[in-house]
């Protein structure tokens, strides 16, 4: 059995994998469907499609919540099945895993345990802080920058980081992401229209509307259930309702960016004003989100190319380059700062 090296960016919404041997990056939804509480029924994108549509005997589970692993056994099953599906699964592989910074030691160690104690029986596990991977993914010299700000707008988290002087100087993980916006949309539609829509529908609405663009009277027909009659039907939902729903959680992220800037030493803050604020993560695909953030925080803002793949692209570059490899730490290292 040949040994392989995998890069892993485990997101609450999607898992991104870099397979070094095949030199490919792929992603799958971070979802597993279990039948009668024990058999794996479906994994990844197939399991996601079943969400809110399955009979009672099938449970659709999300093994991560707000950026951390909450169901390690399910996460192991899922990962093994996805990697096995690629017919590349091999014992004794190496893993380079992107991890969030602002989490507990136990939560961080779970990323390590996931591959070391599973049947994957990793030979070596190295971790990279996600914002560092994001910077490398955007070709930013993370080791020499005098100041940049990265905001990763993900599926269940928003991770804010200030990088300067060879490392990360400030980091904050907010439990706000695409799912928070979608739940806010569901709640507002329920309260204002007595109409219940599913999570997929809310996500589709958020993604189809160009919420940051000027056009303000668009509307889409969506399927749901009338809560008074109980009858499934379609209703028109306006872009303004979606905007109103996402406003509070989005403003919370924007305020957190400003707060982190206030805590940044003045010389680094000046550098950030010169170099800019960079958006990564899937939600950053939303058209003109960078313009909206730039207007609200007053820092020149740009979006990474394919922002949801930015961290995994960074991991790939780190894995390929001897020099950048130094940005990956072993969790077995005595000096590892989260394990002391």
Q: What is the CA radius of gyration of the chain?
A: 21
Which residue, 54 or 285, has its beta carbon nearer to ligand ATP? 285
Residue ranges binding Mg ion (CB under 5 A): 11, 154
Residue 125 contacts ligand ATP per CB under 6 A:
no
How many CB atoms are located within 10 Å of the residue 51 CB? 16
63, interface contact from Mg ion, ligand ATP, none, CB < 5-8 Å by kind:
none
Q: Which member of 4, 76, 93, 157 binds ligand ATP (CB under 6 A)?
A: 157
Q: Which member of 282, 293, 297, 327 binds ligand ATP (CB under 6 A)?
A: 282
129, interface contact from ligand ATP, Mg ion, none, CB < 5-8 Å by kind:
none
Residue 131 contacts ligand ATP per CB under 6 A:
no
> Smallest gap, in angstroms, from Cβ of residue 289 to Mg ion?
16
Distance between CA atoms of 9 and 28, rounded to whole angstroms? Answer: 11
Interface with ligand ATP in residues 57-116 (CB under 6 A): 67
Residue 177 contacts ligand ATP per CB under 6 A:
yes
Q: Which of 55, 10, 2, 6 is nearest to 31 (CA)?
A: 10
285, interface contact from ligand ATP, Mg ion, none, CB < 5-8 Å by kind:
ligand ATP
Interface with ligand ATP in residues 203-232 (CB under 6 A): 203, 207
Tokens 């994108």, residue located: 45
Q: Which member of 80, 101, 240, 285 binds ligand ATP (CB under 6 A)?
A: 285
Residue 308 contacts ligand ATP per CB under 6 A:
yes
What does each C-alpha distance from 125 to 18, 110, 112, 177, 233 come to in angstroms?
14, 12, 7, 28, 50
- Contacts with ligand ATP, residue ranges (CB under 6 A): 11-14, 67, 154-157, 177-179, 203, 207, 281-283, 285-286, 308
């Amino acid at each position: 059995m040949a040994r392989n090296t995998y890069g892993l960016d485990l997101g609450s919404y999607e898992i991104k994998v870099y397979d070094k041997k095949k030199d490919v990056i792929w992603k799958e939804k971070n979802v597993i469907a279990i039948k009668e509480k024990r058999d794996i029924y479906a994994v990844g994108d197939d399991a996601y499609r079943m969400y809110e549509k399955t009979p009672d005997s099938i449970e659709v589970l999300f093994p991560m919540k707000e950026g951390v692993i909450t169901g390690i056994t399910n996460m192991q099953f899922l990962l093994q099945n996805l990697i096995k599906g690629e017919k590349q699964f091999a014992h004794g592989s190496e893993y380079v895993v992107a991890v969030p910074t602002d989490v507990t030691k136990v939560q961080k160690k779970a990323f390590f345990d996931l591959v070391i104690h599973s049947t994957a029986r990793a030979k070596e596990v190295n971790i990279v802080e996600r914002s560092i991977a994001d910077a490398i993914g955007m070709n930013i010299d993370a080791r020499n920058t005098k100041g940049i700000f990265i905001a990763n707008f993900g599926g269940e988290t928003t991770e804010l980081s200030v990088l300067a002087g060879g490392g990360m100087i400030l980091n904050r993980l907010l439990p706000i992401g695409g799912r928070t916006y979608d739940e806010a949309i569901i709640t507002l539609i329920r309260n204002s229209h007595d109409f219940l829509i599913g999570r997929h529908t809310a996500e589709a609405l958020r993604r189809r509307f160009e919420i940051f663009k000027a056009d303000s009277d668009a509307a889409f027909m969506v399927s749901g259930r009338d809560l008074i009659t109980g009858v499934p039907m379609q209703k028109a939902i306006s872009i303004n309702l979606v905007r109103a729903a996402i406003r509070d959680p989005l403003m919370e992220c924007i305020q957190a960016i400003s707060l982190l800037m206030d805590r940044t030493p003045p010389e680094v803050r000046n550098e950030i004003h010169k170099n800019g604020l960079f958006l990564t993560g899937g939600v950053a695909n939303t058209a003109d989100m960078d313009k909206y953030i730039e207007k609200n925080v007053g820092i020149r803002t740009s979006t990474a190319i394919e922002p949801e793949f930015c961290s995994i692209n960074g991991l790939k570059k780190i894995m390929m380059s001897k020099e950048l490899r130094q940005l990956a730490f072993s969790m077995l290292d005595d000096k590892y700062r989260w394990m002391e």
